[in-house]
A and B are shown apart, each in its own frame.
Chain A
Amino acid sequence: MLVWILFLLCQVGAPALAQDLCQRDAPNGYKVRISLKTALGEDAYEWNQSEMFFFQATMAFAMRRHFQMETYNVDNIILCVQTSRVSFWFVVTSPDNTTMLIPKADVEKAVRMSRHRINNAFLLSDRTLEFLGIYPTLAAPVNPDTPPWLIVFGVVIGAVCVGIIALLISSLLQKRRKEKGMTEDGQDEEDMQVKGVENGINLDGTYNRGFTDDDRFTKL
Chain B
Amino acid sequence: IVLKILPNLGLGDRIPSHQELERMEKEEAGDRPKWDNKTQYMLTCVGFCVGLGNVWRFPYLCQSHGGGAFMIPFLILLVLEGIPLLHLEFAIGQRLRSGSVGVWTAINPYLTGVGIASLLVSFLVGMYYNTIIAWVMWYFFNSFQNPLPWSQCPVNANLTDLVSECTRSSPVDYFWYRDTLNTSTSIGDSGGLQWWMVLCLLCAWLLLYVCCLRGIATTGKAVYVTSTLPYVVLTIFLIRGLTLKGSLDGIKFLFTPDLNELMNPSTWLDAGAQVFYSFSLAFGGLISFSSYNSVHNNCEQDAVIISIINGFTSVYSATVIYSIIGFRATERFDDCLEGNILALLNAFNLAEGSIKEGNYAESLQNLNGTFPETIQSLDLKTCDLQTFLSQGVEGTGLAFIVFTEAITKMPVSPLWSILFFIMLFCLGLSTMFGSIEGTVVPLQDLNIFPKRWPKEAITGIVCLVSFVIALIFAQSSGNYWLALFDSFAGSIPLLVIAFCEMIAVVYIYGIDRFNKDIEFMIGHKPNLFWQVTWRFVSPLIVLVIFVFYFVTKVSSNVTYIAWNPSSEDFPTLEVLEYPAWIYVIIFILAGVPSLVVPGTAIFKLIRRCCSNKNVYGAEVDTVSAKVQMFTTKMS
Q: Which of A84, A148, A207, A219 contacts B30 (CB 8 A)?
A: A207
Chain B residue contacts of A148, Cβ below 8 A = 141-142, 144-145
Count of interface residues, chain B, beta-carbon cutoff 8 Å: 64
A199 to B626, CA, bound (A): 10
Is B245 at the interface (CB under 8 A from chain A)?
Answer: no
Among A11-19, A53-61, A106-114, A151-159, the stretch that binds chain B is A151-159
CB-based nearest A residue for B455: A198
Chain B residue contacts of A163, Cβ below 8 A = 210
Quick check: A211 and B203 within 8 Å, CB to CB?
Answer: no
**Given known contacts A153-B199, A210-B36, is B455 in contact with A138 (CB within 8 Å)?**
no
Quick check: B214 and A167 within 8 Å, CB to CB?
Answer: yes
Quick check: B141 and A199 within 8 Å, CB to CB?
Answer: no
Closest Cβ of chain A to B528, distance in Å, is: 15
Among A163, A196, A199, A202, the most chain B Cβ lie within 10 Å of the Cβ of A199
Q: Which of B25, B155, B455 contacts A212 (CB 8 A)?
A: B25
Closest Cβ of chain A to B343, distance in Å, is: 12
Tell me the residues in window 195-219 of chain B with beta carbons closer than 8 Å to chain A beta carbons.
196, 199-200, 202-203, 206-207, 209-210, 213-215, 217-218
Closest Cβ of chain B to A140, distance in Å, is: 6
Is B38 at the interface (CB under 8 A from chain A)?
Answer: yes
Is B294 at the interface (CB under 8 A from chain A)?
Answer: yes
Quick check: B31 and A87 within 8 Å, CB to CB?
Answer: no
**Given known contacts A87-B349, A153-B200, A207-B27, is B145 in contact with A171 (CB within 8 Å)?**
no
A37 to B351, CA, bound (A): 10
**Given known contacts A153-B203, A156-B203, A218-B298, is B215 in contact with A167 (CB within 8 Å)?**
no
Is B232 at the interface (CB under 8 A from chain A)?
Answer: no
Q: Which of A153, A167, A208 contacts B34 (CB 8 A)?
A: A208
A203 to B218, CA, bound (A): 20
Closest Cβ of chain A to B367, distance in Å, is: 15
Is B185 at the interface (CB under 8 A from chain A)?
Answer: no
Closest Cβ of chain B to A148, distance in Å, is: 5
Closest Cβ of chain B to A75, distance in Å, is: 26
Closest Cβ of chain B to A214, distance in Å, is: 8
Quick check: B217 and A217 within 8 Å, CB to CB?
Answer: no
**Given known contacts A138-B155, A199-B215, A217-B522, is B36 in contact with A149 (CB within 8 Å)?**
no
Is A216 at the interface (CB under 8 A from chain B)?
Answer: yes
A87 to B351, CA, bound (A): 9
Is A141 at the interface (CB under 8 A from chain B)?
Answer: yes
Tell me the residues in window 425-449 of chain B with beta carbons closer than 8 Å to chain A beta carbons.
444
Is B252 at the interface (CB under 8 A from chain A)?
Answer: no
Q: Which of A138, A161, A215 contacts B159 (CB 8 A)?
A: A138
**Given known contacts A197-B30, A199-B444, A211-B34, is B523 in contact with A141 (CB within 8 Å)?**
no
Chain B residue contacts of A51, Cβ below 8 A = none
Quick check: A167 and B210 within 8 Å, CB to CB?
Answer: yes
Is A206 at the interface (CB under 8 A from chain B)?
Answer: yes
Residues 147-184 of A, flagged 1 when their CB comes within 8 A of B and 0 if not, give 01111110011001101100110010001000000000
Quick check: B301 and A218 within 8 Å, CB to CB?
Answer: yes
Is A64 at the interface (CB under 8 A from chain B)?
Answer: no
Quick check: B141 and A153 within 8 Å, CB to CB?
Answer: yes
Is B608 at the interface (CB under 8 A from chain A)?
Answer: no
Chain A residue contacts of B35, Cβ below 8 A = 211
Closest Cβ of chain A to B425, distance in Å, is: 11
Chain B residue contacts of A38, Cβ below 8 A = 352
**Given known contacts A37-B353, A84-B350, A167-B210, is B142 in contact with A149 (CB within 8 Å)?**
yes
Quick check: B456 and A168 within 8 Å, CB to CB?
Answer: yes
Chain A residue contacts of B210, Cβ below 8 A = 160, 163-164, 167
Quick check: A149 and B626 within 8 Å, CB to CB?
Answer: no
**Given known contacts A85-B349, A198-B454, is B206 in contact with A161 (CB within 8 Å)?**
yes
Closest Cβ of chain A to B145, distance in Å, is: 5
**Given known contacts A167-B213, A198-B33, is B294 in contact with A212 (CB within 8 Å)?**
yes
**Given known contacts A217-B522, A220-B300, is B352 in contact with A199 (CB within 8 Å)?**
no
CB-based nearest A residue for B351: A84
Chain B residue contacts of A87, Cβ below 8 A = 346, 349
Residues 31-66 of B, flagged 1 when their CB comes within 8 A of A and 0 if not, give 111111110000000000000000000000000000
Is B624 at the interface (CB under 8 A from chain A)?
Answer: yes
Quick check: A197 and B145 within 8 Å, CB to CB?
Answer: no
Chain B residue contacts of A33, Cβ below 8 A = 346
Chain A residue contacts of B36, Cβ below 8 A = 210
Is A35 at the interface (CB under 8 A from chain B)?
Answer: yes
Is B258 at the interface (CB under 8 A from chain A)?
Answer: no
Closest Cβ of chain A to B253, distance in Å, is: 30
Quick check: B444 and A138 within 8 Å, CB to CB?
Answer: no
A189 to B215, CA, bound (A): 23
Among B29, B524, B624, the most chain A Cβ lie within 10 Å of the Cβ of B29
Is B191 at the interface (CB under 8 A from chain A)?
Answer: no
Chain B residue contacts of A84, Cβ below 8 A = 349-351
Is A70 at the interface (CB under 8 A from chain B)?
Answer: no
**Given known contacts A167-B214, A212-B25, is B206 in contact with A160 (CB within 8 Å)?**
yes
Tell me the residues in window 5-47 of chain B with beta carbons closer than 8 Å to chain A beta carbons.
25-27, 29-38
Tell me the residues in window 75-97 of chain A with beta carbons closer than 8 Å to chain B beta carbons.
83-87
A217 to B301, CA, bound (A): 12
Chain B residue contacts of A206, Cβ below 8 A = 30
Chain B residue contacts of A36, Cβ below 8 A = 352
Chain A residue contacts of B523, Cβ below 8 A = 216-218
Tell me the residues in window 237-271 of chain B with beta carbons closer than 8 Å to chain A beta carbons.
none
Closest Cβ of chain A to B142, distance in Å, is: 5
Chain B residue contacts of A208, Cβ below 8 A = 29-30, 34
Chain A residue contacts of B27, Cβ below 8 A = 207
A96 to B593, CA, bound (A): 90
Quick check: B296 and A217 within 8 Å, CB to CB?
Answer: yes
Chain B residue contacts of A35, Cβ below 8 A = 352
Q: Which residues of B contact A (CB under 8 A)?
A: 25-27, 29-38, 137-138, 140-142, 144-145, 154-155, 159-162, 196, 199-200, 202-203, 206-207, 209-210, 213-215, 217-218, 294, 296-298, 300-301, 345-346, 349-353, 444, 451, 454-456, 522-524, 623-624, 626
Q: Which residues of A contact B (CB under 8 A)?
A: 33, 35-38, 83-87, 138-141, 148-153, 156-157, 160-161, 163-164, 167-168, 171, 175, 196-208, 210-212, 214-220
Known pairs A167-B213, A198-B454; list 19 more (Cβ under 8 Å): A37-B352, A83-B349, A85-B349, A85-B351, A85-B352, A140-B155, A148-B145, A156-B203, A157-B206, A171-B456, A199-B455, A200-B451, A201-B454, A205-B31, A207-B26, A207-B27, A207-B30, A212-B29, A220-B298
A-B contact list, 30 entries, CB within 8 Å? A85-B352, A86-B351, A87-B346, A149-B138, A150-B141, A153-B141, A156-B207, A160-B203, A167-B214, A167-B218, A168-B213, A171-B454, A196-B217, A197-B30, A197-B32, A197-B33, A197-B34, A197-B217, A198-B215, A198-B455, A200-B451, A204-B30, A208-B29, A208-B34, A214-B294, A216-B296, A218-B297, A219-B298, A220-B298, A220-B524
Closest 6 CB pairs of A and B: A217-B523, A83-B349, A205-B30, A149-B141, A218-B298, A84-B351
